[in-house]
Structure formats: structure tokens, C-alpha cells
Chains A and B, each alone.
Chain A
Amino acid sequence: MKNSNKSKLFSLLTLFLLLTLSVSGRVPPKPKPARMVNDYASLLLPSQVRELEERLLHFSRESSNQIVVITLKELDNDIAAVATEIGEKWGVGGSKFNNGVVILIKPKWGIEDGQAFIATGYGLEGALPDALCRRIVEREMIPHFKKNDYKEGIDAALKVIMEIAQGEYSFKEYIGEPEGSPIAAILVLLAVVIFVVAITRKGPPSSGGKGGGFRSPVPFIFGAPSRGGFRVGGPSGGGSFGGGRFGGGGAGGRW
């Protein structure tokens, strides 16, 4: 049977554990009904918030991938931990595919750096690996954020994330691997532009040339999900988060 020393140790451990757990970050409460844009740091105009919300809801319904944008003035923990916890606690993304993304932005103010982080749910870690998230933050977001153009930075990042999450093209193309046959590339470029315009009627046509190169055209002209993205059609419950899980994946940067 357990003696008193062991139970003292156990209570000490429990106390210690409670202390460590309580540092794990207080995230904003889950919005009910679900809200994709949570601009706590007031970086966007109300009209911009509305437009973004509509775009993200539409994306969620079309592809079942849920992308949440959240801005916070302060972080009480490492940004990766906060973003992961938001994704996990709110359950961003569907529970079947764990296909959620949390974009967390902490603006630059006072003496503190600005920070941005893109957290990916378990299911999107393949399509949006850490290295890619880092590049998106550095190439698409930070140049705009440095000028306090938060809307532009968010839009630029979302463009890439949405297209990759749907398997439109792969991260290798975004990073810019050498291309194959130029004729195939031109045909593919045309096809992608038409395809993407058809899907994202609201947004501008995809430039398609981000990475400067394309690999085998056939799979994604027909929108096959074999690229690691998700385009599961059908409603994903427009008013709720699907219970997707996050494992700490993703990456970010600061300015």
C-alpha cells in the first residue's frame, strides 16, 4: 500500500503540475457562433473584417478547410503555443480531417516586435509544412506588416494558403523548384488560371506564377486531392468549428 512519503510526493507533483499547466496560456474564449475573423487588436476596419469573414466562411463551406484569423495585442506565452492552443481549444477545422489553420498576428507596438504565426492542424501538416508556413509569413505577410498594411499582408498570405490547402499547387512550386517542359507549363498556367477563377469567383485570378515552376499538370487540372490538399465539398456547418485538432505544427516570424 502507498505510504505517506509517496502521497506527499504525489501532492507535490500535482501542485507543480498545476502550476506548470496554469502557465499554458489564456486564449480568448471560443466565439459562439463560430467566427473566422477575430480582430482583438483592431488592425482591420469593420468593412474589412466583414469581407474577410465572408471569404473565409465561403472557403470553409466549399473546401471544409477552416482558416481562422486572430489578432491579439499581447501574448502571454510563446506564439506557437498560443496559436496551437487556439486551434485545439476552438476545434478549428473538421474532426475527420483535422484541416484547420490558425493565423495569429500580434502587431508591432511600443518596444515589442510584431509576430505572426501560421498554425496547421494535424491534417494540413502535409500540404502546409513548417518551412512553407515560415516562407509565407516572411514573403507574404512581413513586408506588408512592416508598413502596417495588415489587410494586405493577410490577403496575400490567404491567397497562397487557400490555394495550397485545396491542392491547387504544391508547396514545392511556391518555393520555386525548377520547371519541366515549357509548353506544359504554359498549358498548365492557363488551366490553373481558369480553374481558380471558376472556383474563387470573388477574388482576383490567381497569378499562378508564384513559384515560377510547375510539375506534372494532369493531377491538379482535374483537382485531384492527391496533392495532400483537401477539397471535400459540401457544407461544413457554416456556424461552427468542426473539432479539428492541432499538434503544434506551423511556423512564423517576427518584425
Chain B
Amino acid sequence: MVKLEEEVNSSWAQVENVYQRRADLIPNLVSTVKGYAAHESETLQAVIDARARATQPTAGTTPDGIAQVQAAQGALSDALSRLMVVVERYPDLKANENFKELQSQLEGSENRITTERQRFNETARRYNSTIRQFPKNILASLFNFEEKGYFQAMEGAESAPKVEF
């Protein structure tokens, strides 16, 4: 059980890594967009705010903790999607090499987030099914092995804010 919990923790660390990777792209993204679309300050500010909330310390891998992370990161995904919709109105920005590069990095981090979340769910599943089985469940509650949460699938398409040109 300890080993399984360690697996959960290390896959959780991976999830946090890739979320951080996405968060790190945002300052550059915001300043690039600002250069072309200075009037879209509301949309940009929404992204900045969502990022700030998403990069706050997390509450761990319990069901509540995961739900919290999913909500905060989901809000950031939404803000980014709205930003991408706005960007559609600025062909010069869309053609800018720096922006295109940021965009592929952003898509890359979304792919990584999807991958690591799926793997986390797998480790959580293995852990949870073990701690619920007799006789391990007795040991589990004795030593306070808590149930882990899962990432839920998003409604509709996966949360990646993709832009088609």
C-alpha cells in the first residue's frame, strides 16, 4: 500500500509539473497578445487572474483536493479558450512567429496535462481498489491511508483550447 501510495504521489508530482509548465507560458503569451491587441485588456486580465488562482498551493490528492485543482485549472483553460477566440480577430497576431510558437507550446502542455492526468487516475485507481479490499482495508484505516480522488472527464471535448486556422 505504501508503494502504491508512492506511485500516486509521483504521478501527482507529474501532474503538477505539467500544470506548472502551462502556467509558465502565460506571462509570455499575455505580453505577446498585448502587443497586438491592447484593447482586449479584460480578456487578458481574466487569464492573468485565472492563472494566479490556479498556481496557488494545492490541497493534496483527496477527492476534494483533486476537485479543487480540476476546478481552478479548468477555469484557466476556459480563460485561455476565450483568449484564443479573441485572437481570431487579429490576423497579424495569428501570423506572428512568436505567437505561433507559444501556441504550439500551449497545445503541447495541454497534451501533457491530458496524459499525466490519465496516468494519475490509473495510479489512484490501483491504490483505491487495494485499500478497499479485505483484509487490507483494515490496515488502511488503521494507518490512515485515505482514498484518492480522480480527475473527471470534461463535458464535450477535452479541455484543450485548440484553435483551427
Q: Which residues of A are in contact with B by a Cβ distance under 8 Å?
A: 1-2, 10, 13-14, 16-17, 19-21, 23-24, 78, 80-81, 84, 129-131, 133-134, 246-251
Partner of B111, one of A1, A24, A129, A249: A249
B132→A84 contact, CB < 8 A: no
Bound CA span A2–B104, Å: 46
In the complex the two chains form, what is the Cα distance from A117 to B14 in whole Å?
23
Q: How far is the CA of A10 from the CA of B122 in the complex (A)?
A: 15
- Indicate whether B13 reaches chain A with its CB closer than 8 angstroms: no
Structural contact, B111 and A248, CB atoms closer than 8 A:
yes
11 CB-based A-B contacts, threshold 8 Å: A13-B150, A14-B125, A20-B152, A21-B121, A78-B160, A80-B107, A81-B114, A129-B105, A130-B107, A248-B116, A249-B112
| B111 and A80 within 8 A (CB) | yes
Q: A10-B128, A20-B153, A78-B158 given as contacts; is B104 within 8 A of A84 (CB)?
A: no
* A1 surroundings in chain B (CB, below 8 A): 141
Q: Are A248 and B104 in contact (CB under 8 A)?
A: no
8 Å CB contact of B108 from A2, A16, A81, A248:
A248
Q: Mark B54-93, 1 if CB is under 8 A from A, else 0.
A: 0000000000000000000000000000000000000000
Q: Does B101 contact A (CB under 8 A)?
A: yes
With the chains together, A129 CA to B128 CA distance in Å?
36
Set A78, A134, A247: member contacting B104, Cβ < 8 A: A134
Contacts of A81 in B (CB 8 A): 111, 114-115
How big is the B interface, by class?
20 to 34
Which residues of B in the span 97-136 have a Cβ within 8 Å of any Cβ on A? Answer: 100-101, 104-105, 107-108, 111-116, 118, 121-122, 125, 128, 132
Across the interface, which residues of A come within 8 angstroms of B153, CB to CB?
16, 19-20, 23
Considering the complex, give the chain B residue whose CB is closest to the CB of A83.
Answer: B111
**A10-B132, A78-B158, A80-B111 as given contacts; A24 in contact with B104, CB under 8 Å:** no
Which B residues between 131 and 150 are near A, CB-CB below 8 angstroms? 132, 141, 147, 150
Are A248 and B105 interface neighbours, CB within 8 A?
no
Q: Do A131 and B105 have beta carbons less than 8 Å apart?
A: yes
> In whole angstroms, how far apart are the Cα atoms of A131 and B114 in the complex?
19
Given the complex, which residues of A lie within 8 Å of B113, measured CB to CB? 248
Contact, CB under 8 Å: A17 / B108: no
New A-B pairs, 18, CB < 8 Å, besides A23-B153, A84-B115, A247-B116 = A10-B132, A13-B150, A14-B125, A21-B118, A24-B118, A78-B114, A80-B107, A80-B111, A129-B105, A130-B104, A131-B105, A134-B104, A247-B14, A248-B108, A248-B116, A249-B108, A249-B112, A250-B111
